[in-house]
Chains A and B, each alone.
Chain A
Amino acid sequence: MSVLVRLGAVTKSYGAVEALRGVDLEIRAGDVLALCGDNGAGKSSLVKILSGAHAHDGGVFEIEGKAVRFASPQDALTRGIATIYQELAVAPRLSVAENVFLGSELVRTPLPFVSLLDKKRMRDEALGYLKRLGVDLGDATRPVERLSGGQRQAVAIARALRWDARVVIMDEPTAALGVAETKLVLDLIRRLKDEGRTVVLVSHNMADVVAVATRVAILKAGRKTVDRPVAGLDAAALAQMIVTGREAA
């Protein structure tokens, strides 16, 4: 499989805190890559670099062989990397359609030089994206805060589809969800994979990782200590690796 994203010896510090101490990572097309590790291991820091929220301090960051340096989330989005932050995934009081098209609204030009929001098309297409994810919300004008946690994740993922993102990164998408909602989100991830998209999943839940991931990378204290296929692993073995920072014997 081709390498979409490559990080080489990437470092990131917050003042005196060295969050990433030289991480190498390859994200290959079609992977569902699980990023695991204890609290403070550096997972979110890595995600923020990939998503353009923070710039890396040192090392290389390449997309399809070309070095990049993102100055803003917009840069990452236009290069095909969309990130879904659990807390910040959606604007709660905005509608489903407004959230799906947040930052990339559709317009129509009824007159030359006059461009107006195309609300009807956004409503229809928002529902279309959600259908592709197997979620039927019926009414795209509903504020997102009235949806369940899993449905909110679906809205956020629909936005990634709207951007036609090749890589969709999710930072702990199931952290606050119950059993049924977690299943919904895992199904969404499978749909993304079936569409040929690449997924990076940050998770503390080993059962989720075993259920959907194809590959797992484990961080410990700012370094990558494990990087291997998930096949053949169970949740207990994964948990063991996170604690020891080594592949189980």
Chain B
Amino acid sequence: MRSFLAKYATALAGLGVVIWFAATAPAFASAANFTLILKETSFLAILALGFALALVTAELDLSIAEVASLAAVVCGFLVHSGYPPALAIAAGLGVGAACGLANGFAVTVLNVPSLIATLGMAAIAKGLGFMLTQGVAFVGRWPADFTGLARGNFLGVPNLLWWLILASIFAYALVKWTRTGAHLVATGEAEEASRLAGIPTKRMKRLALLLTGLFAGATAVLLAASLSSAAPNMANDHFLYAIAAVLLGMTMFEPGRPNVPGTLVAAFTLKALGNGLILSGAPYYVQDIVLGAIIVGSVALSAGALGRAAFVKRLSFRTAQ
């Protein structure tokens, strides 16, 4: 029982939140509202899964939102200018991956701590986004080939959710079932011991940061397709949410470790919470305050429950070996 609670207490709390809003907030429990929450969860969770992959190797990527915005702008620009959707999609993913690659280079070759390297990347991506758009958004009637990525259903399930399912399976299978995944985890758990055991820890960090960028790119393409627009700050609102989802996710399933099921449950819980707060008539700023409390509370809970240095070290400011 104790170990069950240690693993699922926060997930149960999330369930409690959902039940509470279902009982108190008008329209919360409707099918339409749930679909809305699930769609919102999809963007957030894909971005968060990317953040989680970097964190698995004990690196922070604070550039995810700005990179996603930049990728959305590039993708949106190409669609807007009439280029084939496939090219625009590839460009969006490519921008994300390129930024991730650059982050990996800064962290493992230039030995800049990821906290700083990705903060720098965030500023650069933001600047580039505004440069490309001159501060305005690309909006228009975009081809259905492109917007269909994020709109519509397949087998009765929203397309967005399918993308999330795919991203989740990929991340889960990679981390849990493959040798590369074992090396990613080992790098994050004990970098020096792993290196001495022959694991190419720097390459693992580069791979993780590359994937983080790629996931940010995927989020960007879906956001642009869903909104039929692209603006240089469009992913900003997802930044704190994504970090909160990963950290809250670390309190469940595999306490103390970034994990896929935890991130998914946490992302849904956070979106349900945000949605429920709005439907209950709470002012918009309450969301931010609650989110901040959840971020700090999650880390306190994980670190406290584990009582170990490893977790805190994972999040602390340090240089790559």
Once the chains bind, are A105 and B190 in contact (CB under 8 Å)? no
| Complex: A77 Cα to B194 Cα, angstroms | 13
A92-B310, A93-B310 as given contacts; A105 in contact with B179, CB under 8 Å: yes
| Complex: A93 Cα to B307 Cα, angstroms | 12
**A91 and chain B: residue at smallest CB distance:** B190
Once the chains bind, are B196 and A115 in contact (CB under 8 Å)? no
Once the chains bind, are B310 and A102 in contact (CB under 8 Å)? no
| Complex: A85 Cα to B196 Cα, angstroms | 9
| Residue in A93, A116, A159 whose beta carbon sits within 8 Å of that of B308 in the complex | A93
Once the chains bind, are A91 and B193 in contact (CB under 8 Å)? yes
User: With an 8 A cutoff between CB atoms, is B7 at the interface?
Assistant: no
Chain B 148-193 residues near chain A, CB threshold 8 A: 176-179, 181-183, 185-186, 189-190, 192-193
Once the chains bind, are B198 and A94 in contact (CB under 8 Å)? no
Contacts of A179 in B (CB 8 A): none
Contacts of A115 in B (CB 8 A): 178-179
Contacts of A85 in B (CB 8 A): 193, 196
User: With an 8 A cutoff between CB atoms, is A221 at the interface?
Assistant: no
User: With an 8 A cutoff between CB atoms, is B199 at the interface?
Assistant: yes
| Residue in A89, A90, A102, A159 whose beta carbon sits within 8 Å of that of B199 in the complex | A102
Contacts of A102 in B (CB 8 A): 186, 193-194, 197, 199
**B182 and chain A: residue at smallest CB distance:** A105
How far in angstroms is the closest Cβ of chain A from B259? Answer: 13
Could you tell me how many residues of chain A have their Cβ less than 8 Å away from some Cβ of chain B?
26
| Complex: A51 Cα to B190 Cα, angstroms | 18
Contacts of B193 in A (CB 8 A): 85, 88-91, 102
Once the chains bind, are A88 and B179 in contact (CB under 8 Å)? no
User: With an 8 A cutoff between CB atoms, is A177 at the interface?
Assistant: no
User: With an 8 A cutoff between CB atoms, is A107 at the interface?
Assistant: yes
Contacts of A74 in B (CB 8 A): 198, 200
| Complex: A72 Cα to B308 Cα, angstroms | 30
Contacts of B198 in A (CB 8 A): 72-74, 77, 103-104
How far in angstroms is the closest Cβ of chain B from A157? Answer: 13
A72-B198, A103-B183, A159-B197 as given contacts; A88 in contact with B256, CB under 8 Å: no
How far in angstroms is the closest Cβ of chain B from A109? Answer: 12
| Complex: A92 Cα to B195 Cα, angstroms | 15
| Residue in A92, A103, A117 whose beta carbon sits within 8 Å of that of B197 in the complex | A103
Contacts of B183 in A (CB 8 A): 103
Could you tell me how many residues of chain B have their Cβ less than 8 Å away from some Cβ of chain A?
24
Most A C-beta atoms less than 10 A away, residue of B190, B200, B308, B310: B190
User: With an 8 A cutoff between CB atoms, is A241 at the interface?
Assistant: no
Chain B 263-317 residues near chain A, CB threshold 8 A: 308, 310
| Complex: A46 Cα to B131 Cα, angstroms | 55
* 0 or 1 for each of A170-214: is its CB under 8 Å from B? (1 = yes): 000000000000000000000000000000000000000000000
Contacts of B178 in A (CB 8 A): 115-117
| Residue in B182, B194, B195 whose beta carbon sits within 8 Å of that of A117 in the complex | B182
| Complex: A83 Cα to B195 Cα, angstroms | 12
Once the chains bind, are A93 and B194 in contact (CB under 8 Å)? no
Once the chains bind, are A98 and B197 in contact (CB under 8 Å)? no
Please report A residues at the B interface, Cβ cutoff 8 Å: 51, 53, 72-74, 77, 83, 85, 88-94, 98, 102-105, 107, 115-117, 145, 159
Task: Beyond the given A91-B189, A91-B190, A103-B197, please list 14 additional residue pairs across the A-B interface where CB-CB is below 8 A.
Answer: A73-B197, A77-B198, A83-B196, A88-B190, A88-B196, A93-B189, A93-B256, A93-B308, A102-B193, A102-B197, A102-B199, A103-B199, A104-B198, A116-B178
A–B pairs, 14, beta carbons within 8 Å: A73-B198, A77-B197, A85-B193, A85-B196, A88-B193, A90-B190, A91-B193, A93-B190, A98-B186, A102-B194, A103-B194, A103-B197, A116-B178, A159-B197
